[in-house]
Amino acid sequence: MTVWDDLVGQEKVSAVLDAAARDADALVTAAAADEPPPTASKMTHAWLFTGPPGAGRNQAARAFAAALQCVSPDRALGGVPGCGFCDGCHTALLGTHADVTTVAAVGSEILVKDMRDTVRKSFTSPANGRWQIILVEDAERLNEKSANAVLKAVEEPASRTVWLLCAPSVEDVLPTIRSRCRHLTLRTPSVEAVADMLVRRDGIEPEVAASAARATQGHVDRARRLATDPAARERRAAVLKLPLRLDEVGACLRAAQELVDAAAEDARQLAEEMDGKETEELKAALGAAQGGRLPRGTAGVIKDLEDMQKRRRTRTQRDSLDVALGDLTAFYRDVLALQLGTRVAIANADAGEALERLARAGAPESTLRRIEAISACREALDRNVAPLLAVEAMTMALRAG
Ligand SMILES: [Zn+2]
C-alpha cells in the first residue's frame, strides 16, 4: 500500500509524482548529510493539477504532499516515499501536517485577505526540515488580486516551498502562473476502475459498487458517497423522479422549490455542525473565555469569520444543487441514448421505466434542448444568479411536450 493506491485510474500521473517524490527525498537527504544536491532532479516547486470534476485532482495533490512529507524509516532501505502510514504521510493526508497549508474557496472566490497569511508562510522554511507545501484546491477561484499575490510567491519561491494548484483546466489559471507550473492532467477514471476501488478499498458489495460507479460516471467521491450513504441514494432517487413530474407549470415551480430547499438544507446542516463551534473557538482564542467580554478591536476578526461562514453556506448550497443537476444531466443523456439507439452503457439503469417513457414521448432534439437547459442553469448559478430563479427557468424548460 502507498499513497498512490487511492488515485483511481491515474497511473501516468502517479508515476510522474512518484518519480518527483523520490528525487525530492534525495534532495532532502543530501542536504541533511551536507552533501551537494543530486544534479538531475524531477522535483520542481510549482505544480498544476487539472482534470474533470471527480477525477481526483485534490486527492492527487494531497497524495503528493504526503509523499513529500513521508518520514518512513523504510526509505533508507530502498522503500518509496509515500508509505501512507508514517506520521508525515498520515498527517498530510488528514490535513493536519504543520507544513502543509490547504487553501479551499469557501465562497465563489478566494479573497486576497484569505491568501495573505498563506503567501507569507510560503516564504518561510518548513518546521520539520522537509518541504513547505501550499495546496490550493480551487485555483480557478482565485480572483485578480489573490492570483497576483500567488504569482509573486510562485515567481520567487523559497528553496523548500512547493505550490500545488488544482483547477478544472489550464485556462482557469492565470497564464503567468501556469507557465511557472509543471502541468499534470487527470482523466476521468473508467466505471470499472471506480467500482473496483469501491470493492477493494471500502469493502462494498460488487453489485452496489458497480451501480454507484455507473450512476456517477467516473466521479470517485460521489460514487463512494452513493454507495455508502442511504440519504444520498434517496436524494438521487427523488431527483430522477423529477422529469416525469414536470407536466404543468405548477409542478415545475414546485419541483424547482424542492431542489433549492434540499440544497439549502444541506448547507444548513453543515453550518449547524461547524459555525457555532468555530465561533466559540475563535472567541476563546481571543481571550473572551476569562471575562466573557471580547478585547477591544476584535469585532472585525469575528465579522471576518462570519463572512467566511456565510460564503461557505452559499457555496455548499450551490455544490449540493450541482450534484442534483449532474444527476439530471445523466438522466437525459440516457434518454438521448435510448432515442438514438446507441449501445452506450446506461448510467441510470435503475430509472429504466422513466427513461423509456420519456424516450418514446419526444424526439432527440427536444432531449438535447433539455440537456442544454441544465447547462444553462449551471452557468447561471456560477454567475451568482439567485438559485430559485435559475432552477425555475430550468424546470420550465424541462417540461414535457
Ligand atoms: Zn510515509
Q: Over the stretch 102-135, which tens digit does the pLDDT of each residue have?
A: 998 877 789 898 899 999 999 999 998 899 999 9
Task: Identify the three-state secondary structure at position 101.
Answer: strand
Distance 189 CA to ligand 1 centre (A): 25
Distance 181 CA to ligand 1 centre (A): 25
pTM of the model: 0.80
Give strand pairing partners of 184. Answer: 49
Task: For residue 197, report the distance from its CA to the centre of ligand 1, in Å.
Answer: 21
Among 169, 185, 201, which residue terminates a domain? 185
pLDDT averaged over the chain? 90
Q: Which residue has the higher pLDDT, 355 or 291?
A: 355
Residue 235 alpha carbon to ligand 1 centre in Å: 38
Shared domain for 170 and 198, answered yes or no, is: no
Q: How far is the CA of 104 from the centre of ligand 1 (A)?
A: 24
The answer to whether position 55 is within a domain reads yes
Q: Do 136 and 202 have their domain in common? A: no
Provide the CB-side half-sphere exposure for 341 (13 A, CA).
Answer: 0
Domain region containing 383: 249-400
Domain boundary among 197, 228, 259: 228
Q: How many domains does the chain have?
A: 3
Instruction: Using the mean position of ligand 1's atoms as its centre, give its distance from the Cα of residue 68 in Å.
Output: 9
Report the separation in Å between the CA atom of 6 and the middle of ligand 1, taken as the mean of its atom positions: 14
181 and 205 belong to one structural domain: no
Distance from C-alpha of 105 to C-alpha of 316, rounded to nearest angstrom: 11
Residues 172 and 261 in one domain: no
User: Is residue 342 included in any domain, yes or no?
Assistant: yes
Residue 290 has pLDDT above 60, yes or no: no
User: Would 5 be classed as within a structural domain?
Assistant: no
Distance from the alpha carbon of residue 397 to the mean position of ligand 1, in angstroms: 52
Residue 242 lies in a domain: no
**Residue 30 Cα to ligand 1 middle (Å):** 19
Residues 149 and 288 in one domain: no
Give yes or no: residues 223 and 341 share one domain. Answer: no
Whole-number Å distance, alpha carbon 317 to ligand 1 midpoint, is 36
Considering the domain architecture, whether residues 223 and 282 belong to the same structural domain is answered as no
Query: From the CA of 75, how far away is ligand 1's center (Å)?
Result: 9
| Cα distances (angstroms) measured from residue 312 to each of 108, 244, 276 | 9, 33, 14
In a domain, 1, yes or no: no
141: CA distance to ligand 1 center in Å?
A: 31
Q: How far is the CA of 61 from the centre of ligand 1 (A)?
A: 15
Domain membership flag for residue 3: no
Question: What is the predicted pLDDT for the residue at 227?
Answer: 93
CB 209 within 8 A of CB 199: yes
Asked whether residue 334 falls in the same domain as residue 296, the answer is yes
Compute, in angstroms, the gap from residue 134 CA to the centroid of ligand 1. Answer: 18
Q: Cell 516564504 appears where?
A: 123
- Cα–ligand 1 centroid distance for 70 (angstroms): 4
Residues 129 and 272 in one domain: no
For residue 378 the three cell numbers come to 449551471
Residue 52 above 90 pLDDT?
no
- Are 254 and 137 found together in one domain? no
In this predicted model, what pLDDT tens digit does every residue of 165-203 receive, in sequence order? 999 999 999 999 999 999 999 999 999 999 999 999 899
Q: Are residues 127 and 58 in the same domain?
A: yes
Question: What is the Å distance from ligand 1's center to 80 Cα?
Answer: 9
Q: What's the CATH number where 28 sits?
A: 3.40.50.300
Is residue 243 packed enough to be buried (19+ CB in 10 Å), middle (13-18) or exposed (0-12)? buried
Q: Which residue has the higher pLDDT, 393 or 352?
A: 393
Question: How are strands ordered across the β-sheet holding 132-136?
Answer: 100-103, 132-136, 161-167, 46-50, 182-185
Q: Collapse the DSSP code of 134 into the 3-class scheme (helix H, G, I; strand E, B; otherwise coil) and give the result.
A: strand
Whether 201 is covered by a domain: the verdict is yes
- Please give the pLDDT value at position 400: 66
Give residue-wise pLDDT tens across range 230-286: 888 888 899 999 999 998 999 999 999 999 998 888 888 878 888 888 888 888 877
Please give the distance, rounded to the nearest whole angstrom, from the Cα atom of residue 67 to the centre of ligand 1: 6
- 219 and 181 in a single domain? The answer is no
Span from the CA of 306 to the centroid of ligand 1 (angstroms): 37
In sign, the C-alpha dihedral spanning 91, 97, 102, 106 is positive
Examine residue 241 and state whether it is found in any structural domain, yes or no: no
3-state SS record for 35-52:
CCCCCCCCCCCEEEEECC
77: how many CB neighbours lie within 10 A of its CB? 7
